[in-house]
Amino acid sequence: MTKRMEDKVVIVTGGAKGIGRGISNVFAKEGGKVLVVVRSEDTAKKVVEEIESKGGEASYFIGDVSNEEDMNKMAQTCIDRYGKIDVLCHNAGIFPEKRLEDMTVEDWDLVNNINLKGTFLTVKACLPYMKEENYGKMVITSSITGNKVGNPGLTHYAASKGGVNGFIKSAAIELAKYNITVNGVEPGNIMTEGMEAQLGAEYIKAQEASIPMGKLGEPEDIAYAALFLASDEAKYITGQTITVDGGQILPESKFDIN
Ligand code: NAP
């Protein structure tokens, strides 16, 4: 059977840990040449080694998605190394918890610069090359938070991910004429390094109790939804998001679970 990313060049931002690591591995397993984009070289090296050890092809670029120069260099590096950009999985994001009363403008800007401005900068950097090829699939990791539900301590994050969904819809219209689709995946609660470090054990326990499937998701659960949206099977889908959350947004109350 043909691999679904055979001959495809794929950029994965935030591709070395958590959900992004899952995306990098799944897309490489499906035959994609993966450019992993993160800020820390040690994790980037590890994921590239992991992919290569399984017979896949990957390399890394060190850059910050909230920095315009870095994102332009990232796209140029991908062209220099692989000759094109077929797929952008823009997944890098942060979710530090802070209540509104304690939130500073710096807290707000940090989250929105990485999550929302980063989406704009990453998409904009890849756009000219996809336009030239008259082909492109952009898949953005959004969130249920800010789109389907709210979450105390994450107002800045919710605003950024709500913004991401608005961006997806409008970009999809603008880019349709270039045969570029723009879609998103909205994860529920997925067990990742970032989840453990930024939200902690108590939060994870509380989330588990509110998920009909009774457990957090795995990075691969998001990666396979992204793979579908990036594949030619989804060639007529644009401006959409798929929620992958174990049913978390469904119950009207916690008494509906069990
Ligand atoms: P994670 O485990 O913390 O991994 C995040 C990755 O993004 C890391 O590789 C990190 O590497 C990279 N990154 C962070 N800031 C970056 C920046 N400014 N520039 C480049 N790379 C950056 O996070 P995760 O839980 O997998 O989350 C990934 C995405 O899913 C995020 O967009 C998040 O909002 C979304 N999401 C996650 C969940 C969940 O339950 N985990 C739920 C909904 C949505 P460096 O630090 O080396 O840069």
The domain spans of the chain are 9-189+221-242
Q: What is the pLDDT of residue 156?
A: 98
Q: What is the pLDDT of residue 27?
A: 98
Q: Is this model's pTM higher than 0.95 or not?
A: yes
Alpha helices (runs of H) in 30-142, residue ranges in sequence order: 41-53, 68-82, 105-112, 118-133
Residues 53-78: tens digit of each pLDDT: 999 999 999 999 999 999 999 999 99
Arithmetic mean of pLDDT over the chain:
97
Q: What is the pLDDT of residue 112?
A: 98
Ligand 1 pocket, residue 194 CB under 6 Å: yes
Q: How many CA atoms lie within 13 A of 130 on its CB side?
A: 27
Three-class DSSP category at 208: helix
Report which ligand 1 atom has the smallest distance to the Cα of 94.
34
Distance 16 CA to ligand 1 centre (A): 9
The amino acid present at 62, given as its one-letter code, is I
Report which ligand 1 atom has the smallest distance to the Cα of 44.
47
Identified catalytic residue from 60, 129, 135, 157: 157
Ligand 1 pocket, residue 25 CB under 6 Å: no
For residue 52, what pLDDT band results from cuts at 50, 70 and 90?
Answer: very high
- Residues above pLDDT 70, as percent of the chain: 100
Q: Return the CATH number of the domain spanning residue range 9-189+221-242.
A: 3.40.50.720
Which tokens sit at 221? 């659960």
Closest residue by CA, ligand 1 atom 23: 194
Give Cα separations from 20 to 29, 34, 35, 159, 194 (angstroms).
Answer: 14, 11, 11, 21, 11
226 alpha-carbon distance from chain centroid: 8
Ligand 1 pocket, residue 21 CB under 6 Å: no
Per the annotation, the verdict on 82 as an active-site residue is no
For residue 2, what pLDDT band results from cuts at 50, 70 and 90?
Answer: confident
pLDDT at 258 over 80: no
* Residues found in the chain: 258
pLDDT at 257 over 90: no
